[in-house]
Amino acid sequence: MDHTERDDRTTILKELGTKERGYGHAIVAGIERYPLKITKNMGKKRVAKRSKVKPFIKVVNYNHIMPTRYGLELESLKSVVTLDSFKEPSQREESKKAVKKLFEERYNSGKNKWFFTKLRF
């Protein structure tokens, strides 16, 4: 991994092969900035602020994806983020907002805790 790549947790939303990109690729959504640690003596306002997630969406070549045994099923994300989301910046921002909302709901519900922890290696 070179110094420009991040060590993100991502989930594959759609596998593609189009004429514009002659290689096999996938649309992925992941976490660019993870939620911060929360303790029980923090107030509601501070907990809400530290529970925020900054997502990203992008198109990635299959050669740059390493499969793992983990999976995260978010069927609602697949309908929100499509290849059309990348055509215009405003559509991309709307898709990111929808991804952020879904990720934060999943984080606050306590499901898939492993997905919201930063990779350490």
pLDDT digits (tens, 9 = 90+) for 52-109: 999 998 888 888 888 778 777 777 887 888 787 888 888 889 989 999 999 999 899 9
71 token code pair: 């999976």
- Indicate the class that CATH gives domain 10-116: mainly beta
Element (H, E) at 76: helix 75-80
Q: Do the beta carbons of residue 45 and residue 15 sit within 8 Å?
A: no
> Domain-by-domain residue ranges, the chain?
10-116
Whole-angstrom distance, CA of residue 72 vs CA of residue 80? 16
For 5-43, write each residue's pLDDT tens digit: 455 666 666 666 666 777 788 888 889 999 999 999 999
107 token code pair: 């984080």
Whole-angstrom distance, CA of residue 66 vs CA of residue 9? 11
Whole-angstrom distance, CA of residue 27 vs CA of residue 14? 5
pLDDT score for 16: 62
